[in-house]
Amino acid sequence: MLKRLLAGLAALVALGVMSPPASAVAGPVRTGNLTAELVAATQGARAGGEVQLALRQAIDKGWHTYWRNSGDSGAPTELIWTLPAGWTAGEIVWAPPSRKPIGPLMNYGYSGEVLLPVAVRVPDSAPAGQTVTLRVKAAFLVCSDICIPEDADLSLDVKVVAGDPAPDATWGPRIQAALDAAPRPGQVQAVLNSGPAGLKIAVSGPGVSGGAARDAYFFPYAPAVIDHAAPQTLDRGPEGLTLTVKPAPGVSTPASLKGVLAVDGRVYEIEAVPGAAPAGASGLGPPPPQPVSLDGSGGLAGALLFAFLGGVILNLMPCVFPVLAMKAASLAGHGHDRAAARAQGLAFLAGVMATFLGLAALLLAVRAGGAAVGWGFQLQSPPMVAGLALLMLTVGLNLSGLFEIGASLQGFGSGAAARGGTLGAFLTGALAVVVAAPCTAPFMAPALGWAMTQPAALSLAVFAGLGLGFAAPFTLAALAPGVLSRLPRPGPWMDTFRKVLAFPMYGAAAWLAWVLAVQAGPDLLARLLAAGVALAFACWLAGLAQRRALLGQPARVLGLAALGVAVLSVAAAVWPTPAQAVAEGSTGAGTDASGLAYEAYTPERLAALRAEGRAVFVNYTAAWCVTCQVNERVAFSTRTAAEAFAGTGTVYLKADWTRRDAVIAEDLARFGRAGVPLYLVYPAGGGDPEILPQLLTPGMVVQAVKAAAEG
């Protein structure tokens, strides 16, 4: 009896082992949140050849599946094949993924419909006319706010044919398109280096040259090599590009970095290995000289035109009003001496050009040394700000008549002006450029942004164009007889007007003192104020010495004392101390006078907000940027703007560049800017940001915020 029972159990087990598995479904299978299907590119297969299959996923709206590297979470699609003897399946040809941010995480995957091709090898012995069933068990992780494991048993009948099989009219073109869209190796070259900001992937080749890439992203094959959620910084060069990615914790420089590079919709498979950077791939050395387009819309000609127009408009910015008013008054004093007026106009032009080119050369030298700086970089230095504040104070005291520069009181007048006018005009041109640095006029930003990506000679040419535009109105007025004849005649009014002009200079000194307080804190402000009092005393001593000399009295000791006090006061203000080593970067969150709440900008905060699908407004600003401060008061600090931000849920981030910040400098360069202001509006739900003009109105801000919230 026991033997019969054991025999029966053995038979049942044998039947279970020999019985076929559950039937796979030929045709689409609904798994819950997607529809899966196994399809073929041809109507049959030839012995000894391949049949190109594809797993089709039609994913429900709001859900997604995952790429081969799912990112910070998730799991890729898996296929387990059941094939006839001799038939073998290849690897999945993965379609290019898209980014799937989830809160602070970054995942990679697919939405909508995706085809994942797989080549199946047909054995040489497969007889023509035979129909075989190819089966695959597909496992998916399908995610939205939650993740659900789903699977499908799929099958496809394939007939072995004698010749080349006919293409399938429905799936043949679509599978071929999927194969064509897949990334391929060997199209571009890539090298890997490690820098302070992270891992640098420098890429060169025909598909990425020209410096025109708008967006690039690297999807690594390995799951734990880079920080997937960290922003990737793009630098463009004439022969390629460089992406800076943040390594994963514990990773220094890997032996290689393999994955997919997506550039403006095109994809390339790359394997970056340590080595010398490709020539002209920005971010790992200066780009070589390159051919320049001379059409009116871009290249050197376009940059020169924009620079010249920006320089002309710069004269209308509030930074330079006091200095230009001084020169206008001086020109009026020589309005009927055409030779003297022309000499002053040309000297002013020379002062402007020398200072613009000097600042440009210094800027290029600092950038070549690896520092991330831009236009207005000198005002990011507290000693420079303190020195400029004292210079503005000195000019104001001179205009107020406390002392004279370059002449005694007896020589002050038309004769002295005639002798010292050209030097004064040159120095005024230099001073005008220095005080114009906090302002950025329309047309300047694209011109300077282009210049920062070019060889030194072309960069200097653009800065020369900016200087010519800036000096043009005053110089042309000085050279035009018709303008000179309309100027008022010299008279007592000039002395009164001169003293009135002192007060804008005092205002400039007070504003720079506020900038210093923002940069370096109250201790440095107190030292500047004390130095200002001492400098005013030195100027009074100088004026006293001049008046004594006018009366024939001894004045040498007073003059030396004035010089000594002036030198010591300036040195005390500009000498760097540990107190100036204030942490670089943005200030914290806050609320302006209108109730508009803002947060400090960081790339991580921006990435997190975009992952949440929020609309984001990023304001790249600085306390020393007059254009920025005007926009703050006119466009942002209004109840209309505050209500628009609150009503749409748009998050307002401030990127404060008052102090040097390499991250902000890299952001500016990525968007083709050499300085602030820059206003970016990121739409809800993803997409490229809109770049707003440099001069804003409340209506422009409200319109941009509402459009971004609508996605």
Instruction: For residue 696, tell me if it sits in a domain.
Output: yes
Which is it for strands 266-274 and 189-195: parallel, antiparallel or unpaired? parallel
Q: List the one residue out of 332, 51, 324 whose CA is nearest residue 175.
A: 51
CATH number at residue 108: 2.60.40.1250
Tell me: pLDDT of 625 over 70. Answer: yes
Mean local confidence (pLDDT), 469-494 = 73
How is residue 93 annotated by DSSP? -
Q: Are residues 322 and 417 in the same domain?
A: yes
Ordered DSSP codes for 11-63: HHHHHHHHSPPSPPEES-EE-SSEEEEEEESEESEETTSEEEEEEEEEEPTT-
Instruction: For residue 498, tell me if it sits in a domain.
Output: yes
CB burial class (10 A; 0-12, 13-18, 19+) of residue 271?
middle
Q: Are residues 385 and 500 in the same domain?
A: yes
Instruction: For residue 8, tell me if it sits in a domain.
Output: no
Q: Are residues 527 and 549 in the same domain?
A: yes
Instruction: For residue 6, tell me if it sits in a domain.
Output: no
Q: Are residues 406 and 526 in the same domain?
A: yes
The parent domain of residue 194 ranges over 189-274
d(CA 621, CA 692): 13
Instruction: For residue 459, tell me if it sits in a domain.
Output: yes
CATH number at residue 696: 3.40.30.10
Q: Are residues 148 and 244 in the same domain?
A: no
- Split at pLDDT 50, 70, 90, the class of 331 is low
Instruction: For residue 542, tell me if it sits in a domain.
Output: yes
From 181, 197, 215, the end of a domain falls on: 181
Task: Classify residue 684 as left (phi > 0), alpha (psi -120 to 50) or beta.
Answer: beta
Instruction: For residue 4, tell me if it sits in a domain.
Output: no
Q: Are residues 200 and 167 in the same domain?
A: no
Q: Are residues 494 and 618 in the same domain?
A: no
Q: Are residues 66 and 120 in the same domain?
A: yes
Q: Number of structural domains, the chain?
A: 4
C-alpha distance from residue 121 to each of 25, 50, 126, 404 (Å): 22, 5, 11, 94
- The SS3 call for residue 585 is coil
Q: Are residues 612 and 512 in the same domain?
A: no
β-partners of residue 191 are 202, 273
pLDDT digits (tens, 9 = 90+) for 314-330: 777 666 666 666 666 66
pLDDT digits (tens, 9 = 90+) for 602-615: 888 888 888 888 89
pLDDT digits (tens, 9 = 90+) for 129-177: 999 999 999 999 999 888 899 999 999 999 999 989 999 999 999 999 9
Q: Are residues 131 and 224 in the same domain?
A: no
| More confident position, 181 or 447 | 181
Q: Enumerate residues 6+ apart whose C-beta is below 8 A from 601.
A: 586, 618, 619, 620, 653, 654, 655, 656, 664
| More confident position, 191 or 287 | 191
pLDDT digits (tens, 9 = 90+) for 69-111: 999 889 999 999 999 999 999 999 999 999 998 878 899 999 9
Q: Are residues 113 and 147 in the same domain?
A: yes
Q: Are residues 477 and 548 in the same domain?
A: yes
Check: CB of residue 454 under 8 Å from CB of residue 367: no
Tell me: pLDDT of 57 over 80. Answer: yes
Check: CB of residue 149 under 8 Å from CB of residue 169: no
Check: CB of residue 73 under 8 Å from CB of residue 102: yes
pTM of the model: 0.47
Instruction: For residue 319, tell me if it sits in a domain.
Output: yes
From 524, 551, 575, the end of a domain falls on: 575
From 552, 575, 598, the end of a domain falls on: 575
- Split at pLDDT 50, 70, 90, the class of 499 is confident
β-partners of residue 220 are 259
